[in-house]
């Protein structure tokens, strides 16, 4: 009986000491823990974070009318070399489209090299157009027009057929569309270009290359890093900035994109630049939809100056997917021009025609590679010529 009591006492002692040890460890841990995570704060100046407003729910109406803006990060060293002129850029497009032996070009050549075009040939041709991302509507239209013209006039030779085809392709791409960029200063306000698109399409790269083109045209340019999804995004843009010799306004990772864009435009007005280029995110931290956020960024900017151009960047290699994205973006930000990137890759040129049809918005710029000069203004005739290029072209 006594030993039973002894065991009870020992057991109780063990329990009490375990509880005490547990308590001590827990208290220590709590002391070591960092303070609970704060909501990301809004930067009110370039490169700075001023803890005055929470990010998650920044409404357009609570933005201050005047935000103190610090001097943007000055580029480390200005670009000294001169950008490649557009004409030779387009010559490179010709080579690249030809180099990849794209299906459209080959299909067209096959068609043109026949002496007589029979039903099977037309069908093959139609298939080729469809697999080149031309889309059903434009394909049917093109084939119908060609059949009409070639049967009425007869095909004298393949040169003649090529000429007719060239004309019809140009008509499809539509040379009447205004492809100029609205990048002129008006009064005391800079032009503001917003660059939008899903992640990875080439927005940041396009902003960098475009800045270089504008600098070459003697324009003063300011960049705004409104992609605050990750710190590396602002860094990537600032690197482009220093590469081409223009300043970049940025906020901290997680800062409110609208606020950074607003600050960039404010700095652009203060410093009397000609063009402010705003890079935006393809993804977000907050639960707000990307589209809502972009609409908000645009409205916030417009408290300072009108957005003169909204460029939607689409990766040409994504085909149909890109079209779906385009439709969604058009709804919220009133896209004024398309930048079709990665045309140097496995892209099929027909997407140019389809995307313009779909949106009623012209392709204004094309991306031809990752280099600084790999952006060219879109030129209908040159583009069609590049598509129709044969090995001797």
Ligand X SMILES: Nc1nc2c(ncn2[C@@H]2O[C@H](COP(=O)(O)OP(=O)(O)OP(=O)(O)O)[C@@H](O)[C@H]2O)c(=O)[nH]1
Contact 377, 364 (CB under 8 A): yes
In sequence order, the β-bridge partners of residue 186 are 189
The reply to whether 128 sits near Mg ion by the rule CB under 5 A is: no
Q: Which long-range contacts (CB under 8 A, 24 or more apart) does 84-90 make?
A: 84/373, 86/376, 86/377, 89/368, 89/373, 89/374, 89/375, 89/376, 90/376, 90/379, 90/382, 90/386
Interacting residue with Mg ion among 73, 102, 182, 204 (CB under 5 A): 204
The reply to whether 341 sits near ligand X by the rule CB under 6 A is: yes
Using alpha carbons, list the distances in angstroms from residue 109 to 99, 158, 166, 205, 213.
15, 9, 12, 34, 35
The reply to whether 280 sits near Mg ion by the rule CB under 5 A is: no
Q: What is the CB-side half-sphere exposure of residue 269 using CA atoms within 13 A?
A: 19
Q: What is the DSSP letter of 60?
A: G
Interacting residue with ligand X among 203, 250, 298, 348 (CB under 6 A): 203
| 146 versus 196: smaller Cβ distance to Mg ion | 196
The reply to whether 282 sits near ligand X by the rule CB under 6 A is: yes
Stretch that binds Mg ion, among 141-149, 180-188, 204-212, 331-339 (CB under 5 A): 204-212
Q: Which of residues 206-225 bind Mg ion (CB under 5 A)?
A: none
Contact 365, 210 (CB under 8 A): yes
Min dist CB 203 to ligand X, Å, is: 4
| 105 versus 204: smaller Cβ distance to Mg ion | 204
Q: Where is 237: in which H helix or E strand?
A: helix 231-244
Cβ neighbors of 299 (< 8 A, separation 6 or more) are 60, 258
Q: How far apart are CA 52 and CA 372, in angstroms?
A: 38
Stretch that binds Mg ion, among 131-139, 202-210, 211-219, 264-272 (CB under 5 A): 202-210
Contact 146, 172 (CB under 8 A): no
Q: Which of residues 348-367 bind ligand X (CB under 6 A)?
A: 367
The reply to whether 68 sits near ligand X by the rule CB under 6 A is: no
The reply to whether 293 sits near ligand X by the rule CB under 6 A is: no
| Both structure tokens of 43 | 């930067």
Q: How far apart are CA 48 and CA 336, in angstroms?
A: 32
For ligand X (CB under 6 A), the number of binding residues is 20
Residues in the chain: 393
The reply to whether 341 sits near Mg ion by the rule CB under 5 A is: no
For Mg ion (CB under 5 A), the number of binding residues is 2
CA angle 32, 36, 42 (to 5 degrees): 135
Interacting residue with ligand X among 73, 102, 204, 325 (CB under 6 A): 204
Q: How far apart are CA 206 and CA 201, in angstroms?
A: 9
The reply to whether 345 sits near ligand X by the rule CB under 6 A is: yes
The reply to whether 368 sits near ligand X by the rule CB under 6 A is: yes
- 292 contact, one of ligand X, Mg ion, none, CB 5-8 Å limit per kind: none
| Both structure tokens of 233 | 């995004």
The reply to whether 199 sits near ligand X by the rule CB under 6 A is: yes
Stretch that binds ligand X, among 76-84, 161-169, 196-204, 349-357 (CB under 6 A): 196-204
| 227 versus 309: smaller Cβ distance to ligand X | 227
Using alpha carbons, list the distances in angstroms from residue 277 to 209, 274, 307.
11, 10, 10
- 75 contact, one of ligand X, Mg ion, none, CB 5-8 Å limit per kind: none
Stretch that binds Mg ion, among 178-186, 200-208, 240-248, 261-269 (CB under 5 A): 200-208
Interacting residue with ligand X among 56, 99, 200, 393 (CB under 6 A): 200
The reply to whether 257 sits near ligand X by the rule CB under 6 A is: no
Q: Which residue is nearest to Mg ion (CB)?
A: 204
| Both structure tokens of 293 | 């956020």
Interacting residue with ligand X among 181, 191, 233, 333 (CB under 6 A): 233
In sequence order, the β-bridge partners of residue 309 are 193
Q: Which residue is nearest to ligand X (CB)?
A: 367
Q: Would you tell me which residues interact with ligand X (CB under 6 A)? A: 197, 199-205, 227, 233, 282, 341-342, 344-345, 367-370, 374
Q: Would you tell me which residues interact with Mg ion (CB under 5 A)? A: 203-204
């Amino acid at each position: 009986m006594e030993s039973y009591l002894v065991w009870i006492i020992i057991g109780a002692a063990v329990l009490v000491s375990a509880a005490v040890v547990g308590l001590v460890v827990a208290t220590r841990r709590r002391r070591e823990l960092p303070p609970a995570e704060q909501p990301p704060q809004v930067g009110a100046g370039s490169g700075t974070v001023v803890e005055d407003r929470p990010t998650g729910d920044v409404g357009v109406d609570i933005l201050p009318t005047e935000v103190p803006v610090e001097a943007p990060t000055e580029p480390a060293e200005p670009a000294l070399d001169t950008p490649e002129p557009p004409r030779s850029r387009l010559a490179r497009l010709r080579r690249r489209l030809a180099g990849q032996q794209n299906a459209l070009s080959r299909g067209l050549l096959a068609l043109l090299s026949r002496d007589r075009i029979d039903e099977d040939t037309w069908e093959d041709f139609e298939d080729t157009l469809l697999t080149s991302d031309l889309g059903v509507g434009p394909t049917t239209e093109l084939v119908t027009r060609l059949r009409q013209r070639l049967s009425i006039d007869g095909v004298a030779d393949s040169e003649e057929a090529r000429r007719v085809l060239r004309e019809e392709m140009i008509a499809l791409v539509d040379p009447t569309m205004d492809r100029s960029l609205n990048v002129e200063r008006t009064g005391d306000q800079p032009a503001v270009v917003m660059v939008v698109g899903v992640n990875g399409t080439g927005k940041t790269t396009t902003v960098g290359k475009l800045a270089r083109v504008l600098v070459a045209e003697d324009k003063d340019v300011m960049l705004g890093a409104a992609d605050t999804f990750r710190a590396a995004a602002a860094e990537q843009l600032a690197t482009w900035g220093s590469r081409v010799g223009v300043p970049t306004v940025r906020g901290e990772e997680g800062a409110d994109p609208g606020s950074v864009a607003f600050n960039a435009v404010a700095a652009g007005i203060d410093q009397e630049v000609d063009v402010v280029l705003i890079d935006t995110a393809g993804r977000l931290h907050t639960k707000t939809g990307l589209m809502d956020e972009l609409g908000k960024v645009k409205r916030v900017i417009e408290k300072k100056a009108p957005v003169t151009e909204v460029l939607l960047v689409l990766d040409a290699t994504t085909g149909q997917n890109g079209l779906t994205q385009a439709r969604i973006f058009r709804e919220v930000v009133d896209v004024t021009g398309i930048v079709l990137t990665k045309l140097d890759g496995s892209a099929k040129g027909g997407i140019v025609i389809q995307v313009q049809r779909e949106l009623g918005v012209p392709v204004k710029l094309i991306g031809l590679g990752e280099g600084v000069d790999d952006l060219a203004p879109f030129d209908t005739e040159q583009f069609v010529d590049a598509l129709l290029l044969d090995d001797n072209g």
